[in-house]
Amino acid sequence: MKLRVFKILKHTKVEGPESRYSIWVQGCSRHCKGCQAVHTWSHSGGQLYETSDIIKDILNQKDIEGITLLGGEPFEQAEALGEITEATKKAGLGVLCFTGNLIENLHKDKKNKKLLANIDLLIDGDFQIENLDYSRPWCGSSNQKYHFLTTRYDETIFQKYKNKVEVNIYPNGTVFINGMGDFDDIMQKVDLVKIK
């Protein structure tokens, strides 16, 4: 099975508890106003990967606590991510997933069953710029909710983790900022220009 991916970071410390392998899926139909990831909206962008290759890569990583799924909208590729998360969980790694959908709506669609069964922490709800709030880890607006679907993570995360960003600079000069914060303000402070 194939997964359309915008970006993979094999080690990041700002997309969930501890060090994580993060997959930004390509494609989102929600188009939240003020979204910082508009480059992940197109369903024809990104790159196609075999799920088996991603699983192998995840299991080859050292010193990661788990994986994080974001995007884009992960549940628009629920079946492929279900395969990946099932293998990840069997290997003893944690799974955090972001979605603009609400959990009660996700349970209504059979194609989401395997993915939901393998998520430890689901953060749901559209990003709402009018409810901008960076006070909680990994969330951008106050309407978004944490759903602890297993006992792997719990409410102690609110004391242990704060929102942070990472700035990744690649040899070709490309800059990729990830995490949660005011990216436009950060770019202005370091005199970077966003290319649309």
- Residues of the chain falling short of pLDDT 70: 163, 165-168, 170, 173, 175-196
Q: Write out pLDDT tens, residues 12-31.
A: 888 899 999 999 999 999 99
Cβ-based burial of 149 (10 A; exposed 0-12, middle 13-18, buried ≥19): middle
3-state secondary structure of 113: helix
pLDDT of residue 138: 86
Q: Which two tokens stand for residue 79?
A: 């079946």
pLDDT of residue 149: 98
pLDDT of residue 75: 98
CA 116, CA 75: separation in Å to the nearest integer?
9
pLDDT of residue 190: 56
Q: In terms of Cα–Cα distance, which of 123, 122, 109 is closest to 150?
A: 122
pLDDT of residue 176: 65
CA 126, CA 171: separation in Å to the nearest integer?
34
Which spans in the chain are helix H?
A: 51-60, 78-90, 103-106, 113-117, 157-160, 183-189
pLDDT of residue 189: 54
Q: Which two tokens stand for residue 185?
A: 């303000």
- Tell me the pTM: 0.84
